[in-house]
Amino acid sequence: MKSFKYILALAAGATLAVSCDDFLEKNPISSASEAGYYVTSDQLLTALPACYSTLYDTYGAEGLMYYFGEIWSDETHTDNTAGQVGDTEAFDTHQGMNTSNSVVENYWEIYYQAIYRMNNIIKNAEGNDALNSLVGEVRFLRALYYFDMVRMWGDIPLVTTPVSGSEAYGIARSNVTDVYAQIIDDLNYAASNLPDKSKERVAGAATSDAANALLGKVYLTTGQKDNAKNALLKVYNSGRFKLLDDYANLWDLSYKNSSESIFEVQYKGGIGNPYSMYWALFSPIDNRVVTAWGGGYNQPEDELYDAYTTDGVVDSRRDKSIQVGYTTADGKFVPTKFTIKWRDDNAEVTGLREASDNNFMILRYADVLLMLSEATGDVQYMNQVQDRAGAPRTTTYSVEALMHERQLEFAFEYHRMFDLLRLGKAVSVLSSCKKLGTLTFNSDSQFLLPIPQKVIDQNPNVITQNSAY
């Protein structure tokens, strides 16, 4: 069983201690006592933090969604020189990605540990209608995690019930079609059983609005535009969401969980709390002025910065997203671009990192509006996002116009590579990307991550590898 954790990461034995507002303040029970435990609402509530806590890993400043969504794309790069640099640079350069990549292996295990916990909860809550809403939260999260995984790995083992070690050795990779069918089923259940955003259980809990927004993105990813439109219109027509007047306010700490937020990872600043590190790690490498140190992650490419200028007119989102340099303590200006979206100048410092208070928005209303334009070809939704930015309105829908608008609106927020793949532009954009030099691509399959070699070695007759490896 020790080695088997790399297959489905069933060894979820380490208790994840989390302390955050409301539902994140409770410590989950250890997996040793999970089986047969969740039969009341109180018991289920003790287990939910372990499901949500995975968001801190996968959507954190060093999470796989950052590596894949940003530096795996044309949009940003990393200047980081610490840790296992070769494994992280493989995302940046598209060279050297291999089946033993430690980042890929680590997050494969993290995802399946979370899914193990959730499958236990869902199984033990079967037949108890009083738990439907809480199970809806779990199924939303399971759908989100599988959606992340299927987009990054393609075919993956699809596990929806607790399984033993011997059973798991027989589980092969499921076709993406079957994985998406399960994701859609989970989200439909969540949308039908969860309260809307105005009645969310606590700040940051999954809601029917979050389920419908994510369902819209899943349908777009699978080419089902009519179904995407129907799901997204439920959010749009609800009247519960609106764009903030000022784009910069999206990252103002006084606007956490705002009217634009649909699903947001909850952090609490300060040492001893579950603080965020976006500001510490996304600032310039070793700056010692902007931040205590500076991680050099998620640094913008010049092409991203230049994309904000059209016919000599600068989009207002550029200077609310990117700073072009900083001045050292001895008065020297260092010209280097970095994102200021998660700026937190008053964060308490622990060691060389800021213990920041920034949340992270996975789903926000501007995304719903742009997805509606994608689903319908109607620019009226895109225009609302452009109006907020004071940008010229698009008059005729095109994939290129949508892709450009999404890049300006969501820069640094882990959307870019997923957008390029969904919109069919990954091969062309990355083949002409300056940071990748003369590298060229001919298939989206080249952008899938490898199945960890340990997984294949432990089950070579069942688990196959992606063709690019």
The encoded tokens of residue 225 equal: 């535009």
Averaged over 352-373, what is the pLDDT? Answer: 98
Which residues, at least 6 apart from 356, have a Cβ–Cβ distance to it below 8 Å?
267, 269, 275, 276, 277, 278, 279, 280, 342, 344, 347
Q: How does pLDDT run across 213-241, given as a tens digit for each residue?
A: 999 999 999 999 999 999 999 999 999 99
Of 362, 350, 334, 361, the residue nearest 79 (C-alpha): 334
> Residue 230 burial (CB < 10 Å; 0-12/13-18/19+)?
middle
For residues 391 and 309, the answer to whether their CB atoms sit within 8 Å is no
Of 281, 234, 301, the residue nearest 262 (C-alpha): 234
If you average pLDDT over every residue of the chain, what do you get? 91
For residues 425 and 403, the answer to whether their CB atoms sit within 8 Å is yes
> Which pLDDT value is given to residue 38?
64
> Where does CATH 1.25.40.390 sit in the chain?
41-194+398-458
Distance in angstroms (rounded) separating the CA atoms of residues 405 and 393: 10
Which residues, at least 6 apart from 265, have a Cβ–Cβ distance to it below 8 Å?
55, 56, 59, 204, 359, 360, 361, 362
Averaged over 249-269, what is the pLDDT? Answer: 97
> Which pLDDT value is given to residue 34?
54
Which residues, at least 6 apart from 237, have a Cβ–Cβ distance to it below 8 Å?
none
Distance in angstroms (rounded) separating the CA atoms of residues 320 and 58: 26
Query: Residue 286 above 80 pLDDT?
Result: yes
Residue with tokens 């700026």: 343
Q: How does pLDDT run across 90-101, given as a tens digit for each residue?
A: 999 999 999 999
SS3 letters across 416-469: HHHHHHHCCCHHHHHHCCHHHCCCCCCCHHHHCCCCCHHHHHHCCCCCCCCCCC
For residues 55 and 145, the answer to whether their CB atoms sit within 8 Å is no
Q: What is the pTM of this model?
A: 0.93
> Which pLDDT value is given to residue 184?
99
- Dihedral, CA atoms, 249, 352, 89, 431, nearest 10 degrees? 20
Plot region of 205 (φ>0 → left; ψ -120 to 50 → alpha; else → beta): beta
Distance in angstroms (rounded) separating the CA atoms of residues 458 and 7: 8
For residue 49, give the H/E element and its range: helix 41-52
Q: Give the CA distances from residue 304 to residues 114, 412, 435, in Å, rounded to whole numbers and listed in that order.
A: 34, 10, 12
For residue 327, give the H/E element and its range: strand 326-327
Most confident of 3-17, 74-88, 252-266: 252-266
DSSP symbol at 137: H
- Which pLDDT band holds residue 42 (cuts at 50, 70, 90)? confident
Question: What dotted CATH number matches 41-194+398-458?
Answer: 1.25.40.390
What stretches of 194-265 show up as alpha helix (H) in DSSP?
208-221, 225-236
Top pLDDT among 32 and 451 is at: 451
Averaged over 118-135, what is the pLDDT? Answer: 93
The count of other CB atoms within 10 Å of the CB of residue 451 is 23
How many angstroms from the chain centroid is the CA of residue 1? 30
Q: Which residues pair with 354 in a beta bridge?
A: 349
Query: Residue 11 above 50 pLDDT?
Result: no
Top pLDDT among 400 and 19 is at: 400
Top pLDDT among 201 and 45 is at: 201
The encoded tokens of residue 23 equal: 């539902």
**Would you list the DSSP string of 303-317?**
HHHHHTEETTEEPTH
First to last CA, the chain: 27
For residues 55 and 107, the answer to whether their CB atoms sit within 8 Å is no
- Dihedral, CA atoms, 297, 274, 137, 419, nearest 10 degrees? -10
What is the percent of the chain with per-residue pLDDT over 70, rounded to a whole number?
A: 92
Query: Residue 24 above 80 pLDDT?
Result: no
Q: Which residues pair with 350 in a beta bridge?
A: 353
Per this entry, what is the length of the chain?
Answer: 469
Helices and strands counted in the chain (H then E):
20, 12
Query: Residue 360 above 50 pLDDT?
Result: yes
Crossing angle of the two packed helices 399-410 and 379-389, in degrees rounded to 10: 40
> Which pLDDT value is given to residue 62?
96
The encoded tokens of residue 319 equal: 């200077």
Top pLDDT among 434 and 4 is at: 434
How many angstroms from the chain centroid is the CA of residue 308? 23
> Which pLDDT value is given to residue 317?
98
Q: How does pLDDT run across 44-58, given as a tens digit for each residue?
A: 888 899 999 999 999
What is the percent of the chain with per-residue pLDDT over 90, rounded to a whole number?
A: 86
Q: How does pLDDT run across 29-41, given as a tens digit for each residue?
A: 234 345 556 668 8
User: Which phi and psi angles does 32 have, rounded to 5°?
Assistant: -60, -25
